[in-house]
Structure 1
Amino acid sequence: MLRIVRSCKIYQNVNWLDENIYKCSYKCVRYAVNLSYKVLQQIIGTPSDIAPPLCILHDLLSNKKQWNSIGKTINNLTKRPVVIVDLRNHGMSPHTSSHKYEEMAIDVQNLLKKLSVDKAFFLGHGIGGKTAMCIALLAPKVVAGVMIIDVSPASSPKQFDELYSDIFTIMKKITFKNETKLEATQARIRKELKESLHDDIVMDLIISNVVLKSDLTIGWTCNLDVLIRNFNNMTSFPKRLKGNTYHGPTLFIGGQLSEYLPSVVNLAYRVHGKQDLDNPIIILHGLLGSKRNWESMSKKIVHVTNKTVIAVDARNHGDSPHHHSHTYPELASDVKHLMDSLSIKKADIIGHSMGGRTGMVLALTEPASVSRLVVVDISPISTAGVLNDFIPNVLKTMKSISFDGINDVNKAKAYAKKLLQSKSINADTIGFILMNIGVTPYKTVGWSCNVEVLSKYFIDIANFPNMSGKKYTGLTLFLGGGESPYIPQEDINGIKTLFPKAELKYIEDAGHNVHADSPTEFLQIVTRFLLLN
Structure 2
Amino acid sequence: MARALRNKPGLHLLTRFLNSPSPVHLHGSTRTLETLAYEEVRASTDKPYNLTAFVLHGLLGSGRNWRSFSRNLASTLSNSSPSIEWRMVLVDIRNHGRSADIEGLEPPHDMVNAANDLADLIKARDWAWPDAVIGHSMGGKVALQFAESCARGDYGESVVYPKQLWILDSVPGEVNSENSDGEVEKVLQTLQSLPSSVPSRKWLVSRMIELGFSKSLSEWIGSNLKKSGEHETWAFNLEGAVQMFNSYREKSYWSLLEHPPKGMEIAIVRAENSDRWDSHVIHRLENLANQGGDGDEGKFSIHVLPNSGHWVHVDNPNGLLEIVAPKLASVRPDSS
When normalised by structure 1's length, the TM-score is 0.46
Task: Provide Cα deviations, 1:198-243, integer angstroms capped at 9, x if missing partner.
Answer: xxxxxxxxxxxxxxxxxxxxxxxxxxxxxxxxxxxxxxx6x6xx68
Name the CA shift for 1:491/1:430 in 2 (closer, same or farther; >3 Å): farther
1:278, 1:346 within 8 Å by CA — same for their partners in 2? Answer: no
Name the CA shift for 1:376/1:460 in 2 (closer, same or farther; >3 Å): same
Q: Give the match for residue 220 of structure 2.
A: 432
Cα deviation, residue 505, structure 1: 0.7
Task: Provide Cα deviations, 1:226-273, integer angstroms capped at 9, x if missing partner.
Answer: xxxxxxxxxxx6x6xx68x9xxxxxxxxxxxxxxxxxx8611111111
Amino acid at match of 2:314: A
1:377, 1:479 within 8 Å by CA — same for their partners in 2? Answer: yes
2:100, 2:235 within 8 Å by CA — same for their partners in 1? Answer: no
1:305, 1:531 within 8 Å by CA — same for their partners in 2? Answer: yes
The counterpart of 1:462, out of the listed 235, 249, 260, is 249
The counterpart of 1:372, out of the listed 164, 174, 177, is 164
Q: Give the match for residue 50 of structure 2.
A: 278
Cα deviation, residue 279, structure 1: 2.6
Task: Provide Cα deviations, 1:65-108, integer angstroms capped at 9, x if missing partner.
Answer: xxxxxxxxxxxxxxxxxxxxxxxxxxxxxxxxxxxxxxxxxxxx
Q: Give the match for residue 530 of structure 1.
A: 328
Cα deviation, residue 371, structure 1: 2.1
1:282, 1:311 within 8 Å by CA — same for their partners in 2? Answer: yes
Moved more, 284-293 or 335-344: 335-344
CA distance in 2, matches of 1:379, 1:352: 10
Gaps of 5+ in 1: 1-152, 156-236, 246-263
1:250-261 equivalences in 2 (<5 Å): none
Amino acid at match of 1:300: N
Cα deviation, residue 154, structure 1: 5.1
Q: Give the match for residue 328 of structure 1.
A: 111
Q: Give the match for residue 272 of structure 2.
A: 482
Amino acid at match of 2:206: K
CA distance in 2, matches of 1:532, 1:435: 36
CA distance in 2, matches of 1:435, 1:288: 10
Name the CA shift for 1:342/1:418 in 2 (closer, same or farther; >3 Å): same
Task: Provide Cα deviations, 1:134-177, integer angstroms capped at 9, x if missing partner.
Answer: xxxxxxxxxxxxxxxxxxx954xxxxxxxxxxxxxxxxxxxxxx
1:281, 1:350 within 8 Å by CA — same for their partners in 2? Answer: yes
Amino acid at match of 1:329: V
Cα deviation, residue 380, structure 1: 1.6
CA distance in 2, matches of 1:457, 1:523: 28
Q: Look at both structures and tell me which one has the larger radius of gyration over its CA atoms.
A: 1
2:53, 2:88 within 8 Å by CA — same for their partners in 1? Answer: yes
Cα deviation, residue 490, structure 1: 2.0
Paired residues, number? 272
1:510, 1:518 within 8 Å by CA — same for their partners in 2? Answer: yes
2:62, 2:92 within 8 Å by CA — same for their partners in 1? Answer: yes
Q: Give the match for residue 197 of structure 1.
A: none
CA distance in 2, matches of 1:280, 1:466: 24
Name the CA shift for 1:265/1:314 in 2 (closer, same or farther; >3 Å): farther
Amino acid at match of 1:272: V
Cα deviation, residue 466, structure 1: 6.6
Cα deviation, residue 448, structure 1: 1.1
2:260, 2:300 within 8 Å by CA — same for their partners in 1? Answer: no
- Local SS of the residue matching 2:61: coil
Q: Give the match for residue 472 of structure 1.
A: 261
The counterpart of 2:239, out of the listed 452, 457, 465, is 452
- Local SS of the residue matching 2:100: coil
CA distance in 1, matches of 2:266, 2:253: 19
2:205, 2:215 within 8 Å by CA — same for their partners in 1? Answer: no
Q: Give the match for residue 293 of structure 1.
A: 65
Name the CA shift for 1:297/1:444 in 2 (closer, same or farther; >3 Å): same
Q: Give the match for residue 521 of structure 1.
A: 319
1:267, 1:321 within 8 Å by CA — same for their partners in 2? Answer: no
Name the CA shift for 1:313/1:388 in 2 (closer, same or farther; >3 Å): farther
CA distance in 2, matches of 1:308, 1:443: 38
Name the CA shift for 1:466/1:284 in 2 (closer, same or farther; >3 Å): closer
Identity level (%): 23
1:138-287 equivalences in 2 (<5 Å): 155=26, 266-273=35-42, 274=44, 276=48, 278-287=50-59
Higher relative contact order (CA 8 A, sep 6+): 2
The counterpart of 1:350, out of the listed 134, 147, 152, is 134
Name the CA shift for 1:494/1:451 in 2 (closer, same or farther; >3 Å): farther
Task: Provide Cα deviations, 1:168-199, integer angstroms capped at 9, x if missing partner.
Answer: xxxxxxxxxxxxxxxxxxxxxxxxxxxxxxxx
Gaps of 5+ in 2: 1-23, 79-85, 152-159, 332-336
CA distance in 2, matches of 1:434, 1:393: 16
- Local SS of the residue matching 1:345: coil
CA distance in 1, matches of 2:88, 2:248: 25
- Local SS of the residue matching 1:472: coil
Cα deviation, residue 467, structure 1: 7.8
